């Protein structure tokens, strides 16, 4: 065993020398004892954004967390300490976070998808799942539903990894009720930059635990997580309500998130044109008799849609249809334009998969995806909407604009992912996400892509604010957005230095953020 480890370290030294050389020595798989380093692949050089393409010198396909630990411990102890390592899950990042130019990409999906479930038996006994960091949320959902359980908080898209979303935040329409995914974690197994494997929780190595959650992969690589589970409903009442007034739309969203005993999910999106109406309707399994007049090019008409869901288990002795009817009487949607359908819980959570398959069939999945994502206090949401409409043309926009609420008191204050401080006591924040699909085959050249990115920058730069690539998903930790909202929109993520654990410093080599 000792001879094997010595040989491994010698081979790793050769690897480091090759990485620091202007010549690429890794042209075929290299056997480093327990490690297996492969040449770069197309996947390891790209991500969902398809904006940056950085080729690593090698790809590690770990078979266990020990492989990751061995690699990082050697690199951190090496006198050559500038090798960049990036953990890559499903590669759903936007701006190269899961890439490592001339470095090493760790393919987290190579880890065995181990999922161990525990159902609490008595009062106060919680249910949870121990899941490997490279497993996907769809896998956890499929396994947990067999026991009638499911995680409480989700992302809209489930074909991304546990470690990836926990390195960001993990938000969706349940966040107002249960907080982001990082607020529903009981324990983590983390491999630090020194190669140490640490099991941490809110009561054990809490500083590392909180730093890793939402830490963009800068404090270690998540190899295992203990996720809180709850009883899963069998059916969900899925509702869509349409609006032609933005103020009414946002006020009703605020009303709905104030009703957590009745409502389980709240999101919303802007309906700019027929394409956005059709694209958002692919997964909704009900006929909607909504054929709005979008106006003229010189005077476009914009609509809005609230999505909400009610779980059947909340009302064992009540007709869920009656609950939805009671809710509908409290909101001010366009008359006769509220639609509802009953679906299985699995189909509701996995609804974006149908949209993905439709985009893949039409060649619109593997395209450029400029993406702007931000938190906005409710005092500034109307100004931001006006700014967006000044910079987005309904005539040619192909993509998605999400606007939905969350509550501050459901968002923990200890993790690396924090909400901006608006300087007021308002509870409601809005999540705004703009995803543009830019297809080079339909005339979107490199110059066109740069123009789209420029418009994103303009949204952040208006009123002289400092723009950070964080808004486009870069490794930067601090982002500022301030259209006319300079006093209401603050840092998207807190700086690293105040939260970096003193007992687990970010040792060299440096690590760029972990992709989902």
Using the structure block, give the residue that is written with the tokens 């991500």: 47
Sheet-wide strand order for 399-407:
338-344, 235-243, 303-311, 265-271, 399-407, 428-436, 371-377
What is the rounded distance in angstroms from the CA atom of residue 337 to the CA atom of residue 271?
A: 14
Q: Are 200 and 188 in contact (CB under 8 A)?
A: yes
As annotated, the active-site residues are: 92, 156, 267
Extract the tokens encoding 241.
């309500």
Contact 18, 24 (CB under 8 A): yes
Please state, in angstroms and rounded to a whole number, the distance separating the CA atoms of residues 53 and 43. 10
Sequence-separated (6 or more) residues with CB below 8 Å from residue 475: 95, 96, 97, 216, 469, 512, 513
Other beta carbons within 10 Å of 350: 20
CA 368 to chain centre: 17
Terminal-residue alpha carbon distance, the chain: 35
Q: Rounded CA gap, 515 and 160, in Å?
A: 9
Cis previous bond, 313, omega within 30: no
Q: Which runs of E-coded beta strand occur in 319-364?
A: 338-344
Contact 474, 95 (CB under 8 A): yes
CA torsion, points 48, 49, 50, 56, in degrees to nearest 10? Answer: -70
């Amino acid at each position: 065993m000792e001879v094997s480890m010595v040989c491994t370290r010698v081979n790793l030294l050769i690897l480091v020398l090759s990485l620091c050389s202007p010549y690429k020595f890794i042209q075929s798989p290299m056997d480093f004892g327990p490690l297996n380093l492969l040449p770069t692949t197309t996947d390891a050089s790209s991500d969902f954004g398809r904006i940056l393409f950085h080729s690593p010198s090698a790809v590690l396909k770990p078979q266990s967390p020990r492989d990751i630990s061995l690699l990082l411990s050697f690199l951190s102890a090496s006198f050559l300490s500038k090798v960049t390592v990036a953990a890559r899950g499903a590669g759903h990042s936007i701006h190269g976070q899961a890439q490592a130019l001339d470095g090493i990409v760790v393919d987290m999906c190579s880890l065995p998808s181990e999922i161990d479930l525990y159902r609490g038996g008595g009062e106060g006994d919680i249910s949870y799942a121990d899941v490997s960091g490279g497993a996907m949320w769809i896998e956890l959902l499929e396994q947990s539903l067999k026991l009638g359980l499911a995680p409480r908080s989700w992302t809209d898209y489930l074909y991304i990894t546990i470690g990836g979303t926990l390195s960001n935040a993990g938000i969706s329409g349940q966040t107002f009720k249960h907080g982001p995914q990082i607020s529903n974690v009981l324990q983590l197994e983390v491999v630090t930059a020194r190669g140490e494997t640490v099991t941490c929780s809110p009561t054990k190595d809490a500083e590392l635990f909180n730093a890793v959650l939402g830490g963009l992969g800068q404090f270690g690589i998540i190899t295992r997580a203990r996720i809180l589970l709850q009883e899963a409903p069998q059916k969900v009442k899925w509702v869509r309500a349409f609006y032609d007034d933005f103020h009414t739309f946002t006020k009703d969203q605020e009303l709905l998130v104030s009703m957590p005993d009745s409502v389980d999910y709240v999101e919303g999106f802007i309906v700019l044109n027929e394409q956005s109406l059709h694209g958002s309707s692919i997964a909704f399994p009900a006929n909607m008799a909504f054929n709005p007049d979008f106006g003229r090019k010189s005077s476009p008409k914009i609509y809005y849609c609230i999505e909400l869901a009610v779980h059947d288990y909340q009302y064992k002795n009540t007709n869920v249809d009656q609950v939805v009817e009671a809710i509908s009487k409290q909101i001010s949607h366009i008359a006769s334009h509220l639609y509802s359908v009953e679906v299985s819980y699995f189909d509701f959570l996995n609804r974006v998969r149908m949209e993905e398959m439709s985009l893949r069939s039409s060649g619109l999945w593997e395209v450029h995806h400029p993406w702007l994502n931000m938190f906005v206090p409710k005092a500034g949401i109307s100004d931001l909407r006006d700014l967006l409409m000044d910079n987005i043309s309904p005539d040619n926009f192909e993509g998605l604009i999400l606007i939905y609420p969350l509550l501050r008191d459901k968002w923990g204050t200890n993790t690396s992912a924090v909400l901006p401080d608006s300087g007021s006591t308002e509870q409601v924040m809005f999540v705004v996400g703009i995803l543009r699909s830019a297809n080079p085959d339909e005339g979107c050249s490199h110059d066109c892509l740069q123009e789209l990115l420029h418009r994103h920058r303009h949204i952040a730069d208006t009123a002289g604010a400092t723009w950070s690539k964080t808004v486009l998903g870069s490794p930067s930790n601090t982002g500022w957005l301030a259209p006319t909202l300079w006093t209401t929109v603050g840092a998207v993520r807190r700086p690293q230095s105040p939260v970096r654990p003193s007992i687990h410093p970010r040792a060299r080599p440096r690590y760029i953020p972990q992709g989902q």
